[in-house]
Amino acid sequence: MSAISRQPSSIVLFGPPGAGKGTQAGKISQLTGKPQVSTGDMLREAVKHNTSLGKEAKEYMEAGLLVPDSIIIDLISERMKESDASGGVLFDGFPRTIAQAEELSLIANVSLVIMIQVPDEDIVERIVGRRMDPETGEIYHINFNPAPAHIESRLIQRKDDTEDTVRSRLNAYHEQTKPLSEWYGIFSDKTTMSIITVDGSGTIEQVAKAIESELGGL
């Protein structure tokens, strides 16, 4: 498959928890040539290595709350100094508040927002059934995307993938993150930024095809 010709500067992948952002990010990275920058993955790495940032972020993450904007903005500002970010990146799970989006607009040129929409009633099942391969970072689901049998024993479940925590994460999404879709709507009217909206409730392959076709139409 060939990369799309008109490369946007940076891309924001936006959607509720469990929408399939991480699942689709690899394919979008391939299509656009932009490296994936996932704040969730960066925070989990910091927690794993018990850094001071990780210690601070851990309690928010395990409670299903957003980590404070100042921590996230510092994390992203540092990441954007790395050489692979110079041609723009694919942000996955960032920005998540209007304050983060405003800061981002000062340090990067976002020319495309991909919004994946999934109804709340699908989210809990997706997240509670998610399993991760710690060796490859691959994302699986016990029913919707089962892992090959030979790696099943090494799969892990994220600490924040419990039913209670998912409900807190959904609340945080509705209260603090969803208003950003309107903010980006207003922002895009004043700039050349494009927004594409994709129905994320189909199968993984259907969603990937819908994104690819929208990207091809840009």
Query: Which position's Cβ is nearest ligand AP5?
Result: 40
Axis-axis angle for helices 21-32, 204-216 (nearest 10)? 40
Report which secondary-structure segment, H or E, holds 62.
helix 52-63
Q: How far apart are CA 123 and CA 146, in angstroms?
A: 17
167 is annotated as an active-site residue: no
Nearer to ligand AP5, 32 or 100 (CB): 100
- Strands 130-132 vs 194-199: parallel, antiparallel or unpaired: unpaired
Contact 58, 165 (CB under 8 A): no
Q: What's the closest the beta carbon of residue 64 comes to ligand AP5, in angstroms?
A: 6
Active site residue 6: no
Nearer to ligand AP5, 7 or 187 (CB): 187
Cβ closest to ligand AP5, residue 111 vs residue 141: 141
Q: Which residue has the tokens 């001071």?
A: 52
| Complex with ligand AP5: residue 6 or 50, whichever CB lies closer | 50
CB of 144 to ligand AP5, least distance (A): 4
Our CA angle for 161, 205, 134, nearest 5°, is 40
Quick one: which of 3, 12, 19, 7 has its CA closest to 38? Answer: 12
User: Which of 27, 158, 167, 178 is the catalytic position?
Assistant: 158
> Is 154 among the residues known to form the active site?
no
Mark whether 178 is an active-site residue: no
Catalytic residue among 44, 126, 131, 169: 169
Residues that bind ligand AP5 (CB under 6 A): 15, 17-23, 39-40, 43, 60-61, 64-67, 72, 93-94, 96, 100, 126-127, 129-130, 139-141, 144-145, 160, 169, 200, 202-204, 207
Burial class (CB in 10 A: 0-12, 13-18, 19+), 163: exposed
Catalytic status, residue 190: no
Active-site residues: which are they? 21, 96, 130, 158, 169
